[in-house]
Amino acid sequence: MKQRFFFMIITLLICCFAGSGIAADPSKVLILPFTIHAEKDLSFLKDGISDMLSTRLARDEMSVLSREETLKASGQISGAVTEKLAVSVAEKFSTDYVAYGSVTVLGDTISTDAKFYDLKKKKNIVIFHQTGKNTGDVISHINLFAAQINTALFPPEMPTPAASAKPAAKPEKSEDESRRNPESLWNERGMGVNKPVQPIKPTSGESAVIPATPPPGHAEEMWKSPTYQTEIRSMSVGDTDGDGKNEIVFVSEKDVFIYRYTNGVFAKVREIKGSVGDTILGVDVADINGNGKAEIFVTVLNQSNDILSSYVLESDGTRFNKIAERQKWYYKVIDVSGKGKLLMGQKRGMKDIFMAGIYQLRWDGREYVSFREQGMPSEVNVFGFAYGDVSDTGREMTMAFTQNELLRLLDKDGKEEWRSIEPYGGSAVYLEYKGDFSGRIGNTTEKNHYYLPQRILIRDIDKDKKTEVIVARNTDTTNRVFSRFRMFKSGYIACLTWDNISMSEKWKTKEISGHITDYVLADINNDGKDDLVFSVVARVGSAFGDAKSFIVVQKLP
């Protein structure tokens, strides 16, 4: 009897452990060949699109039908693929999902339309449409389509909001805008260029800055500029004409805009159009040549030959002239305590997007030349570092971004003393390069994206003899798992301080829809006090609508 009972127990345990080790079968996906509508033969796109989608969707939880199975399925199709036909074929092969679509070429425009159907839910869970200017744009379209599918099937886990960030109760409609949530005003206002900018005060009992510790009882004012129908990539502030008053300079992908804030109005001073084939990566403003007028440093990459073609603008009192052009430098200005604003530069290699060596640059009367190498670790580039007495011990230390956008604190020898657990920054501006496993569609080779790190600001903001670090933190809905695609949901700016063990958040701004593209500490309204000034892309431009961007000015705590 005891032996029989023992045998039953052992058998039960074996069954339980065996059952727990059995993983659920992966979902099956059928990718039907896309229909190509074009005057010339572009049939090569069919295989290229199918291969790209297969590699981007395949994972442990999801199995994509092999090429042989797909060819067998597509052999049952004649003519355009409708939803009814796609579902019918998928059912025959017992798949859980089916992807299908078309590419249409009309003159200089190419359009990609695609759908992803869930056979259990009996509906399309992703409907995709995007336009481009050449067949090479299909690569980015397919990347975006695959990213949307992965997001729909495997939503990223969102962080739990901090108790201090609980949304305030929606106030009743009132003519008094100072009692309304700032972001609701930003989303509702359709402000045109040069309209007065009204101060936005937080709701009673709510601060525009969210301290990491209990609220000290102050409420900071915020201002929003008019909304511009462009994506603001980068911005900076400085006295560009030498009149003692600061201007704000921001850039789109092609053009440079110079504005001045006067009596609550953002007035345009100048707009400088870019050249065909050039893409602006960033902008900085500083008086490096010491003539009392801040120069505008514009980092530019010529897309036709992948060569840097940066330039420097300076005002002569009536117009802005290029005092240096076709420069082979990535430019970045950092503000160092006791040294002021320093111009840094790094060059681009023939194969590598960054050559070794970050240098301080100076004006020699004719051009900007390198004269002091910074001695940064090889993984640090000119866009993602700053230095100062971060630990408040009298030691000059470097704060820098890693390639996956974690923050690192380094001593003078490059030894790491701290690294963040979560990523900060989050830029949408990137450089392209060919990877070892890049896909191909016809003669077009897919390129990887290196996203440029965002600015790091180091300063004793409140004059308490403790150094603060200012960085942005944008939330990517895909958790940055895709190397060629980002979709930002929101962002905020954080103030970090050293607590003898690690960097911790001292305060942060309210979280804003869209993503923060750049930020500076500067006296934008010329009242003798620095403010936090940052640019926000509320909506990225697409076939469905123009981009929307604006500037925010916020008083510091």
Instruction: Round the average pLDDT of the chain to a whole number and report it.
Output: 81
112, 132, 152 — which closes off a domain?
A: 152
Residues 6+ apart with CB under 8 A from 113: 101, 102, 103, 104, 128, 129
Residues 304 and 385 in one domain: yes
The whole-model pTM stands at 0.69
Beta-carbon contacts of residue 465 (< 8 Å; ≥ 6 apart): 392
Q: How many CB atoms lie within 10 A of CB 527?
A: 8
Domain count, the chain: 2
**If we measure between CA atoms, which residue out of 289, 193, 312, 283 comes closest to residue 242?**
289
- CA distances 65 to 28, 61, 74, 103, 440, Å, are 7, 13, 12, 22, 20
One domain for residues 233 and 90: no
Phi, psi of 474 (to 5 degrees): -100, 140
Query: Is residue 215 domain-resident?
Result: no
Averaged over 511-534, what is the pLDDT? Answer: 92
Q: Is residue 525 part of a domain?
A: yes
- Same structural domain, 125 and 238: no
> How big is the chain, counted in residues?
557
Rounded distance between C-alpha atoms, residue 12 and residue 21, angstroms: 14
Residue 441 confidence (pLDDT):
61
Q: Which residue, 152, 182, 203, sits at the end of a domain?
A: 152
Question: Is the torsion defined by CA of 185, 187, 192, 194 positive or negative?
Answer: positive
| pLDDT exceeds 70 at position 549 | yes
Confidence (pLDDT) at 246? 95
**pLDDT tens digits, residue range 369-415?**
999 999 898 899 999 999 999 999 999 999 999 988 999 999 988 89
In this model, does residue 171 exceed pLDDT 60?
A: no
User: For residues 134, 138, 144 and 148, what is the CA-based torsion angle, rounded to 10 degrees?
Assistant: 130
Whether residue 402 lies inside any domain: the answer is: yes
Last residue of a domain, one of 130, 152, 174: 152
* Structural tokens at position 505: 């958040």
**Which two structure tokens, joined as six digits, stand for 69?**
């199975």
Task: Note whether residue 172 is domain-resident.
Answer: no
The pLDDT of residue 160 is 40
> What would the two tokens of residue 399 be?
């704060």
Of the ranges 122-136, 260-274, 298-312, the best mean pLDDT one:
298-312
pLDDT for 427? 93
Cα 180 to chain center, whole Å? 29
pLDDT in tens, 427-475: 999 998 876 655 666 666 667 889 999 999 999 998 888 999 999 999 9
Whole-number pLDDT of residue 5: 43
Least confident range of 48-52, 115-119, 315-319, 498-502 = 48-52
Q: Is residue 216 part of a domain?
A: no
For residues 59-73, average pLDDT: 81
* pLDDT at residue 546 in the model: 82
Over residues 201-217, the mean pLDDT reads: 38
**Residue 83 in 3-state DSSP?**
helix
Banded pLDDT at 33 (limits 50, 70, 90) = confident
Query: What pLDDT shows up at residue 2?
Result: 46
pLDDT in tens, 85-138: 889 889 988 999 999 998 888 776 788 899 999 999 999 999 888 887 777 778
What is the arithmetic mean of pLDDT over 311-331? 95
Looking at the fold, whether 147 and 50 belong to one and the same domain comes out as yes
pLDDT average, residue stretch 221-235: 90
The CATH number that applies at residue 401 is 2.120.10
Residue 175 lies in a domain: no
The residue to which tokens 């500037």 are assigned: 551
Give the integer Cα–Cα distance in Å for 202 and 223.
11
Residues 387 and 486 in one domain: yes
Question: Residue 85 domain-assigned?
Answer: yes
Give whole-number Cα distances, 118 to 29, 115, 152, 169, 289, in Å: 10, 10, 11, 38, 62
Least confident of 22-31, 83-92, 163-172: 163-172
pLDDT on residue 66: 83
Based on the fold, state whether residues 108 and 226 are members of the same structural domain.
Answer: no
Q: Residue 81's domain is classified under what CATH number? A: 3.40.50.10070
Span 243-259, mean pLDDT? 95
Domain range for 386 is: 222-555
Is residue 550 a part of any domain in this protein? yes
Residue 310 has what pLDDT? 96
pLDDT for res 77: 67
pLDDT of 434 reads 76
Q: Let me know whether 130 and 251 are in one domain.
A: no
Give the pLDDT confidence score for residue 304 in this predicted structure: 80
- The answer on 227 and 147 residing in a single domain is no
Average pLDDT over residues 278-295: 96
Closest alpha carbon to 240 in 228, 224, 256, 229: 256
Comparison of pLDDT for 301 and 4, the residue scoring more: 301
* Averaged pLDDT for residues 186-199: 38
Instruction: Please give the pLDDT value at position 444.
Output: 64
Contact between residue 42 and residue 103 where contact means Cβ atoms under 8 Å apart: yes
CB 376 within 8 A of CB 445: no
